[in-house]
Amino acid sequence: MYFTDLPLCDSLLDGLQAMNFTETTPVQEQAIPVILQKRDVIACAQTGTGKTAAFLLPLLNNLQTEPHEEHKVNAIIMAPTRELAQQIDQQMEGFSYFTPFSSVAVYGGNDGEAWDVQKRGLTNGADVVVATPGRLLSHINLYNIDFSGVKYFILDEADRMLDMGFFDDIMKIEKLLPKERQTIMFSATMPPKIQQLAKTILREPEEISISITRPPDTIMQSVYLCYEPQKMQILRQLFQEKKPRKVILFSGSKMKVKEIAKLLRGMGLSAGEMHSDLDQAQRDSIMHEFRNERVDILVATDIVARGIDIDDITLVINFEVPYDVEDYVHRTGGRHRHGDHLRISRRAVPPPADRTLPGEGGLPHPPARGNGRGSRVQPHP
């Protein structure tokens, strides 16, 4: 389906044309018409399927075509991390370029000047507020904000927000909003806690499910079975065989991220790190360097696993196996967007306790290959 086939106003179609967006993704094709009808929606769609546009475009269209109160907040979009909030706000700026609507991104990790900008947006009534739950509550607790004009409440990456312990924060914010509103939830997974949240805040929602929890079929997956001390040697040989370019390496803790980045730099490789110890300016700087290929390898915690739009990633490495299958899906598949086809994910994992692997001191063996569909990979004899 083409965007021109949807009943969107001309100003939005002009913006889409300027951004060279012509065809819808499956989640956009299914969600946009329902949201335009002002139905509550719960949608299950993986990162990288175009779900941000799936809720921003009908939101902007409804703001354009329906009466709403000026100088009041009309829509609140909740996101689990500052990076995702930034990304949504950036896309909001692009899609709304030919419309009169304003937005403000409300997230932590920045300076007093940013706080003042956020406060002005909230008190003067930015049309759309994109916020992390904790930061928005900080503003709410310090001064009065008029939410009486809110007609749209959108939760993006709802499962991640609950994983991060934001359920109570979300409910506190929800109780401040008008009961007569449209509520939309997007989630990459649909565990019981998400279903319970949906029953609490949604009214007879339309259910949309685009994908199941697995990496996209276009991703080639491989696995190395090895001992912990062999992992860095595997990385060394991988990067000797082929110079790294736009590689993301995930590790489970910020201490390990710092250690790996230091070791990679010691090998003469261009490596940056992304973790919660960095302030917002530092995060922005390293992401800018990585996107512009001045840093070849980004070593990161799961802070960039969800919702961050980075094109042309050539390799994703899981230094340890994630605890949850959803985290693996997001680490591996979340970089797949808009025409990108091949991704390789390698997992460096400890061997079974009862198996001795050959090649100690060297690569244990060539990587086992997966078919992109989550098949079991057996260790080599």
What CATH number has the domain bearing residue 321?
A: 3.40.50.300
Domain co-membership, 179 together with 267: no
Residues 246 and 196 in one domain: no
Give the residue-averaged pLDDT of 302-311.
65
Q: Which of 74-78, 83-87, 109-113 has the least mean pLDDT?
A: 109-113
| pLDDT, position 61 | 96
Q: What confidence tier does 369 reach under pLDDT thresholds 50, 70, 90?
A: very low
Are 185 and 301 contained in the same domain?
Answer: no
Alpha-carbon span 143 to 114, nearest angstrom:
16
Q: What is the pTM assigned to this prediction?
A: 0.68
**Does the residue 380 lie in any domain?**
no
11-16-19 Cα angle (round to 5):
130
- Looking at this protein, which amino acid is placed at residue 165? G
Do 81 and 132 belong to one domain?
A: yes
Token pair 């937005």 is found at 103
Higher pLDDT pick, 329 / 188:
188
* 234 and 198, same domain (yes or no): no
Quick check: is 7 in a domain? Answer: yes
For residues 202 and 308, state if they share a domain: no
In a domain, 381, yes or no: no
Residue 15, in any domain of the structure: yes
Same domain, 356 and 249: yes
pLDDT of residue 111: 73
pLDDT digits (tens, 9 = 90+) for 271-300: 999 887 888 788 889 988 998 899 999 998
Q: Is residue 379 part of a domain?
A: no
pLDDT at residue 78 tops 50: yes
Q: Which of 363, 357, 332, 365 is nearest to 235 (CA)?
A: 363
Q: Mean per-residue pLDDT for 210-217?
A: 62
**Quick check: is 68 in a domain?**
yes
Of 180, 209, 238, the domain-final residue:
209
Q: If you average pLDDT over residues 224-239, what whole number do you get?
A: 86
Q: What is the pLDDT of residues 10-59, one digit of tens each?
A: 999 998 988 888 999 889 999 999 999 999 999 988 766 788 999 999 99
Question: How big is the chain by its Cα radius of gyration, in Å?
Answer: 22
Strand, helix or coil at 74? coil
Local confidence band at 163 (pLDDT 50, 70, 90 cut-offs): confident
Angle formed by the axes of helices 192-201 and 167-175, nearest 10°: 10
Same domain, 175 and 264: no
The Cα–Cα gap between 177 and 92 comes to 22
User: Same structural domain for residues 268 and 183?
Assistant: no
On whether residue 299 sits in a domain, the answer given is yes
Q: Considering its fold, how many domains does the chain have in total? A: 2
**Kind of pairing, strands 75-78 and 182-187?**
unpaired
Within this chain, do residues 165 and 252 fall inside the same structural domain, yes or no? no
Q: Is residue 214 part of a domain?
A: no
Question: Please, what is the angle between helix 10-18 and helix 51-65, to 10°?
Answer: 150
Which residue range is the domain that position 88 belongs to?
A: 3-209
Same domain, 170 and 250: no
Contact yes or no for 251/319 (Cβ under 8 A): yes
| Sequence-separated (6 or more) residues with CB below 8 Å from residue 322 | 250, 252, 302, 328, 331
Calculate the alpha carbon distances from 259 to 76, 251, 254 in Å. Answer: 39, 10, 9
Residue that finishes a domain, picked among 182, 209, 236: 209
List, for residues 350-361, the tens digit of each pLDDT value. 444 433 333 334
Other Cβ atoms within 10 Å of 331 Cβ, number? 24
Averaged confidence pLDDT in the chain: 82
